[in-house]
């Protein structure tokens, strides 16, 4: 048993070192593949992606995603405590429904290092990786990686692939309305489609355009969308 615990301890130490090295690696280099992308390939949905730099993304999609997914992204340290408390209260009152409160940082941590769905164990790992990228990366890098790896349709990952597929243009040339439609599908891109335009995406994209107008004047938001 003593030998067993020594081996287990070494395994955990090496796993810790390797994951920390990978976090540093992803600070400058985009992940070769994510678990979600691998599952997409194995399930037959394919993998359409095209990693691009932050400058190549353009301001509209950055603003649209923050408006739809995390309006406090520039200000928090990875977690929106108020939103989490509200979601917990809502879920207690509506046991058949669930409302999430994940920030863009949490979603990036999940998309890059972990898998979709899962219970408390995955959530615990998500908290750890969110903490790490908030301290090892910076906000622009977190948003850049999110926009490169997030699922935006069946087999479609990243804003450049989405822009090409849905609007036949580069991400930097997306109009505000087009960016809002892509951002509107993010809660469930397999169900809420951009092309053909689902009713949910059509309605939500209009609301996102309003939110984009409201957020655009914020200095911290301006710093991120440049």
**Strand (E) positions, 132-211?**
156-157
Give me the domain span that covers residue 200: 31-225
Query: Contact 193/153 with Cβ under 8 angstroms?
Result: yes
Residue 133's pLDDT band (cuts 50, 70, 90): very high
CATH number at residue 160: 1.10.3810.10
Burial of 80 (0-12, 13-18, 19+ CB in 10 A): buried
pLDDT at position 45 is 93
The pLDDT tens digits of the residues spanning 167-182 come to 999 999 999 999 999 9
Does 26 reside within a domain? no
For residue 208, pLDDT beyond 90: yes
- Mean pLDDT across 69-75: 95
φ, ψ for residue 179, nearest 5 deg? -60, -40
Q: Which residue has the tokens 């009713």?
A: 199
Using one digit for the tens of pLDDT, what is the confidence trace for 109-122?
A: 999 999 988 788 89
**Neighbour-count burial for 83-118, b at 16+ CB within 10 Å, e otherwise:** beeebeeeeeeeeeeeeebbbbbbbbbbbbbbeeee
State how many domains the chain has.
1
| pLDDT tens digits for range 76-96 | 999 888 877 776 665 666 565
Counting residues of the chain whose pLDDT is more than 70, the rounded percentage is 93
Return phi, psi of residue 48, to 5°: -110, 115
Q: Is residue 124 part of a domain?
A: yes
**Cα R_g (the chain), whole angstroms:** 18
Q: What is the pLDDT of residue 98?
A: 59
Residue 52 covered by a domain: yes
- Measured distance CA(103)–CA(80) in Å, rounded: 7
């Amino acid at each position: 048993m003593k030998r067993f615990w020594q081996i287990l301890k070494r395994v955990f130490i090496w796993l810790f070192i390797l994951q920390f090295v990978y976090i540093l690696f992803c600070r400058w280099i985009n992940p070769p593949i994510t678990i979600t992308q691998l599952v997409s390939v194995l399930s037959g949905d394919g993998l359409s992606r095209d990693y691009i730099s932050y400058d190549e993304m353009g301001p509209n999609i950055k603003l649209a995603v923050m408006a739809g997914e995390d309006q406090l992204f520039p200000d928090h340290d990875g977690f929106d405590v108020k939103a989490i408390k509200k979601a917990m209260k809502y879920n207690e009152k509506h046991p058949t429904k669930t409302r999430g409160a994940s920030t863009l940082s949490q979603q990036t941590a999940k998309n890059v290092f972990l898998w979709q769905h899962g219970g408390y164990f995955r959530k615990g790992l998500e908290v750890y990786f969110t903490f790490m990228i908030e301290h090892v990366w910076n906000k622009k890098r977190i948003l850049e990686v999110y926009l490169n790896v997030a699922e935006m349709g069946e087999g479609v990952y990243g804003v450049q692939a989405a822009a090409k597929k849905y609007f036949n243009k580069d991400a930097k040339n997306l109009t505000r309305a087009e960016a809002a439609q892509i951002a509107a599908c993010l809660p469930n891109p397999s169900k809420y489609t951009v092309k053909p335009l689902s009713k949910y995406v059509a309605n939500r994209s209009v609301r996102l355009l309003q939110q984009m107008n409201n957020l655009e004047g914020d200095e911290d938001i301006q710093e991120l969308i440049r």
